[in-house]
Homo-oligomer: A and B are copies of this chain.
Amino acid sequence: HLMSQLADILQSRSWSGLGLQLPPYSMDTRGNAGGGQGAQSPRQPDQLFPLLSESKTAFVIHDLSNHGENISDLFRSSLQYYNAYQGDKYHENNNTLGFINLSTSENKLCIDLMTKRLSRSDMNCTEDALLQYPDWRGQPFLWEEVARFLTYYCKAPAPLDPENVVVLNGCCSVFCALAMVLCDAGVKVFLIPTPFYSGLALTSRLYTKIELFFIHLDSELTGENTRPFQLTVDKLEQGLHEARLKRKKVRGLVLINPQNPLGDVYSRDSLMEYLEFAKRHKLHVILDEIYMLSVFDKSITFHSVLRMESLPDPNRTHVIWGTSKDFGISGFRFGTLYTHSKEVAAAVSSFGCLHGISGTTQHNLCRLLQDRDWIDKMYLPTNHSRLQEAHKYIADKLKALKIPFLNHGSGLYIWINLKKYLDPCTFENELVLHHRFLDNKVVLSCGKSYMCKEPGWFRLVFAETILHLDPLAMHWFCEALQEQKKELV
């Protein structure tokens, strides 16, 4: 989501040697740029997104801690994109010149079904217990339902234990608490293959100093790579070796499956190999399976680690899931942890006092998750066919434009290769193209914000209704590319 944009800055500060300075977008921190939803601010296609450096001028008093200043800078510059969009959203009737957001990974294709479902009478509940202090691990009825839900949809060989579930307000909260209880900050690190969804990296910086050690995958097809950005055990071994050479104590491995931004779904065999690698080295594995029900290509089988008959190292295997992506309700702020380690579950649940969810929201989530009939017969089939359709629409457009992309059947996004629009192909020029899109009121995430080691890749979110309902949307995308091309010549 919006955090993917933050990673530019994250990267340019302390995470990379690339030394890129992200030019801040010139507007106030609360996103009044566009003058609100109704503002018909004229497009200015010839003016490159303003490259000013005013982001710090708004504040004169410096009363923050060092950490507070770092965090504030980090978010302030990056939220400018997001606030620009929030303050001047495209709307087919009211604001046809507003920003089109192809950057935030939200599924807007089934919001009609969802609002209808959430309007049913079983959603209204104000029982006393919901209004009072909760169990910090979540309401018991919700962790019980989550266990049943995951047992069913992950095809677990035996019923999952509700005692091993922790419910918090979003997957980043789960990751942050989990990282905190598994890894002593400043001492130990987690391995993570790149490109990857960088919100994880960002949020873990807010409170902690948990370090991620990148295993940079590349797109080229060589002996080892039969697919672009392929993860192999050899690369994991090599990454671990490099980390150790740099005197890092590696504590675990983070995997996103289905992958974000690649859309890759790991095969059962690959997954098992990664888990066995982790076991050999006594590493924890954190699996972010937040897109597990967004595999819309019927020929692809998603294998949750919870489906394995026997896990190589169950007590060190931890699964994160939430409803933000698969149910398109990121605004609900719901994330959950399933771990076989009761010790880890107990430790993470302590963080519930900082990451709690309203009782009434927990009630509604429970009702939603337990409505299997609606999920199986109505929601999932509709969602998958709409995702499929939206994906096809974009894939066809990209083919027509001769833009290469990874053709996977999962997730809400497509990983596209715009290298031919960069000359030379550098991260500096990737950023120029990124701003060219913004000038054309199209928000796209660039590869650098996923710690991709190759410049020129972008993530385009296709689960956006207006994208394929209004021909203008892709038109602006194309316009930005044409402008960029003109400059190249």
A343 engages B128 (CB within 8 Å): no
- Smallest Cβ-Cβ distance to A349: which chain B residue: B75
A343 engages B184 (CB within 8 Å): no
Contacts of A355 in B (CB 8 A): 169, 173, 354-355
Taking the complex as formed, is A353 at the interface, i.e. its CB lies under 8 A from any CB of chain B? yes
B133 engages A331 (CB within 8 Å): yes
Contacts of A328 in B (CB 8 A): 131
Q: Of the 9-residue stretches A118-126, A270-278, A425-433, A474-482, which lies at the interface with chain B? A: A118-126
Contacts of A349 in B (CB 8 A): 75
Taking the complex as formed, is A240 at the interface, i.e. its CB lies under 8 A from any CB of chain B? no
A71 engages B181 (CB within 8 Å): yes
Q: How far is the CA of A251 from the CA of B172 in the complex (A)?
A: 30
| Chain A 133-166 residues near chain B, CB threshold 8 A | 133-136, 163
Q: Of the 9-residue stretches A19-27, A212-220, A225-233, A359-367, which lies at the interface with chain B? A: A359-367
B131 engages A2 (CB within 8 Å): no
| Chain B CB within 10 Å, residue with most, of A3, A334, A342 | A342
Taking the complex as formed, is A238 at the interface, i.e. its CB lies under 8 A from any CB of chain B? no
A320 to chain B: closest CB distance in Å? 14
A359 engages B344 (CB within 8 Å): no
A305 to chain B: closest CB distance in Å? 16
Q: How far is the CA of A172 from the CA of B364 in the complex (A)?
A: 24
Contacts of A108 in B (CB 8 A): 128, 132
Q: How far is the CA of A323 from the CA of B100 in the complex (A)?
A: 37
A343 to chain B: closest CB distance in Å? 4
B115 engages A131 (CB within 8 Å): yes
Main secondary structure of the interface of A (DSSP, over half): helix
A358 engages B331 (CB within 8 Å): yes
A333 engages B358 (CB within 8 Å): yes
Residues of A in contact with B, size category: 35 or more
A144 to chain B: closest CB distance in Å? 12
Q: Of the 9-residue stretches A201-209, A374-382, A391-399, A407-415, which lies at the interface with chain B? A: A201-209
Q: How far is the CA of A332 from the CA of B357 in the complex (A)?
A: 7
Contacts of A206 in B (CB 8 A): 180, 350-351, 353-354
Contacts of A104 in B (CB 8 A): 133
Taking the complex as formed, is A484 at the interface, i.e. its CB lies under 8 A from any CB of chain B? no
Given contacts A75-B350, A128-B115, A133-B106, contact A65 B358 (CB under 8 A): no
Contacts of A346 in B (CB 8 A): 29, 59, 72, 75-76
A106 engages B86 (CB within 8 Å): no
A124 engages B124 (CB within 8 Å): yes
Q: How far is the CA of A127 from the CA of B79 in the complex (A)?
A: 23
B106 engages A67 (CB within 8 Å): no
Given contacts A126-B119, A169-B355, A355-B355, contact A181 B65 (CB under 8 A): yes
| Chain B CB within 10 Å, residue with most, of A135, A163, A333 | A333
Contacts of A98 in B (CB 8 A): none
Given contacts A30-B163, A132-B330, A315-B63, contact A364 B360 (CB under 8 A): yes
Q: How far is the CA of A130 from the CA of B61 in the complex (A)?
A: 34
Contacts of A76 in B (CB 8 A): 346
Contacts of A183 in B (CB 8 A): 65
Q: How far is the CA of A127 from the CA of B114 in the complex (A)?
A: 10
| Chain A 223-251 residues near chain B, CB threshold 8 A | 251
User: What 1/0 flags go to A453-489 for Cβ under 8 Å of B?
Assistant: 0000000000000000000000000000000000000
B133 engages A343 (CB within 8 Å): no
A176 engages B132 (CB within 8 Å): no
Known: A61-B341, A68-B181, A106-B133. 16 other contacts (CB 8 A): A29-B346, A63-B343, A65-B180, A65-B181, A67-B181, A71-B351, A72-B343, A72-B350, A75-B349, A108-B132, A115-B126, A133-B331, A331-B358, A332-B358, A332-B360, A360-B364
* Nearest 4 CB-CB pairings of A with B: A68-B181, A207-B207, A331-B359, A72-B347
